[in-house]
Chains A and B, each alone.
Chain A
């Protein structure tokens, strides 16, 4: 049972981590709280669903298309909304993505209806038994996606010119501009990548979740707590924050009481904010 709970906790943690990394990236680079990250994930789930409906493609086959579509969608949102909001008062900057999230949710209700959807007949399904641990292949899709996305994100941010430009912009925008970095492009790409991460996460989540337009809202708060745990601005911290949340969630729910699992997450969050205000890995 212990190993099963540990596995399930890590699996859940990967979802929180995928959400948290997108939030951490946007906050770290442009100080925008991405309240719409859960809704980006929801949009990705619907894109996956519609691709499956039109072509019969499995979510794994559709994933590259979904990621690219979400990246372009993120760029579009940045150019039409975020870039303008960044010129406005701080309150507008903080709330713009909140409003965007509501528009996306209700827009999807108008577009696709409020009924629960799912992607049928997935390529990978079933369970692998490893002793006392039952490993769901559907959930493994999420775990592998999360690990691959995290690895690619680290590679991009540390090994590519654009990644380094984004990091430089996040550390000192003016200095980055002085050395010839186009900071607006860095912002735009960072926002696009954040949406693309949600795209990968949402696409993988269709393997194990039924979904409706408001699914992103419930995940959102946990994404933020994971960022706070790991530390705002730290992508690695956000990943670890997500994992910690998933493990606390599952162990408390299984061994103590399901009524306490979110309280336990919140207590850990309060403790870390109290004794390490910038989070475990915050700068």
Chain B
């Protein structure tokens, strides 16, 4: 019972940068894991987080949890690390900051040894793969994108936004290609015209021609799927070319990375993105975890970091509910629905029931956030919103 959970993330930075960002991201994930370990393993009468009133997991005789760390900087490394964590460290579940590609190789080991995995790669190929031990708490691309277009409808109906045309810009990786495909299909379903669909090279050294094409298309909304470096490159080029659409909508990735506002400062303003969570969501658990994290790290907690640790808490809760550390028992508890007191849930989800056929949590929902004064503010759904959306965006010369 010593090592209950494994969080896979890159700690061997000399190998690659590819999969999960820089070393600061790893420090942040480790800091969050330490907070959750402390909350679960020790008694905290004043806390709003899960298992705070107990010392350890009550369903497992007060067992303590421990996050063990591995490297997932490439799909190949993720596979070998998953094998190591399962066979040598004896972990009972895997969670962390995975991409869809590294999740797939990790699942090879997880399926072989019958170890549950909960990660948040958004590709639909993960839920279509027929994995037995896979779980995803928050939505996949299909739901994120559907929510995006539903939001455009909401703006047209309630704010007279007059949005009709969309320009899609996505990198030519699995991440970007999947999103672009679903965006094009969903745009058609909702009746929006895609006036330009740009798939740029993910190793591009410049995006000038991409931006010139987008500028020429002059769509009402530019929707983008890019990782951190590219999202910054595009923002720089948008400014250079004096172009900013009425609405610039990112699909997480680089637009949610801490690097984005850190480097752009107020140039990040008006950018919207779908998100899993935001620190301004109004509940006690959010306030507490945000404060604890900020006190420990001196930076604002972001949704991608929180969910990496939170999925570990869900695995622990499933084991606690099952009264067993057996992989099949934990997976059965996930399918039955993991009981987490909504008052202790920073995500405020209605439930945690992972479908047997594809592992998707039936209750996973997205929010929409916008950069305002270089900070993210929740603008949709209305019940969670802390600010009114700023639309249309001001052009560069008007700011």
A interface residue numbers (CB < 8 A to B): 1, 4-5, 8, 12, 15, 106, 109-110, 113-118, 120, 127, 134, 136, 138-139, 208-210, 212-215, 218-219, 222, 249-250, 252-254, 258-259, 261-262
Contact = CB atoms under 8 A, between A and B. Distances in A.
Contacts of A120: 265
Contacts of A118: 232, 263
Contact of B240 (A116, A139, A213, A261): A139
A115 B24 contact: yes
Given A113-B24, A208-B240, A249-B209, A218 B203 contact: yes
B229 to A, nearest CB: 6
B63 interface: no
B14 A110 contact: yes
A168 to B, nearest CB: 35
B395 interface: no
11 contacts: A1-B212, A8-B209, A106-B14, A114-B25, A115-B258, A116-B232, A134-B242, A208-B240, A212-B17, A212-B229, A254-B208
Given A116-B262, A249-B206, A252-B209, 14 more contacts: A8-B212, A109-B22, A110-B13, A115-B262, A209-B236, A212-B22, A213-B17, A215-B229, A218-B205, A249-B209, A258-B201, A258-B210, A258-B213, A262-B201
B259 interface: yes
Contacts of B25: 114
B14 A12 contact: no
Contacts of B14: 106, 109-110
Interface in B249-279: 258-259, 262-263, 265
Given A110-B14, A115-B22, A116-B259, A250 B229 contact: no
B209 A210 contact: no
A213 B13 CA distance: 11
B208 A250 contact: yes
A209 B213 CA distance: 20
B142 interface: no
A258 B240 contact: no
A210 B233 contact: yes
Contacts of B375: none
A138 to B, nearest CB: 7
The 5 A-B residue pairs with the shortest CB-CB distance in the complex, in nearest-first order: A114-B22, A253-B209, A115-B22, A254-B209, A210-B232
A258 B211 CA distance: 10
A106 B13 contact: yes
A259 B204 CA distance: 11
A213 B23 CA distance: 12
Contacts of A139: 240
B172 A259 contact: yes
A250 B21 contact: no
Contacts of A8: 208-209, 212
A115 B254 CA distance: 12
A138 B240 contact: yes
A117 B232 CA distance: 10
A214 B17 CA distance: 8
A5 B25 CA distance: 38
Contacts of B198: 258
B329 interface: no
Contacts of B31: none
A254 B214 CA distance: 10
Contacts of B265: 120
A127 B242 CA distance: 8
Nearest to A129: B242
B209 A109 contact: no
A137 to B, nearest CB: 10
Nearest to B210: A258
Nearest to A137: B240
A213 B14 CA distance: 11
Contacts of B259: 115-116
B228 interface: yes
A15 B240 CA distance: 17
A208 B208 CA distance: 12
Contacts of B23: 109, 113-115
B132 to A, nearest CB: 34
Interface in B161-178: 172
Given A1-B212, A134-B241, A15 B205 contact: yes
Interface string B186-211: 00000000000011110111101110
Given A109-B13, A212-B229, A262-B201, A127 B240 contact: yes
A250 B209 contact: yes
Interface in B314-355: none
A114 B206 CA distance: 20
Contacts of B158: none
Contact of B210 (A127, A253, A262): A253
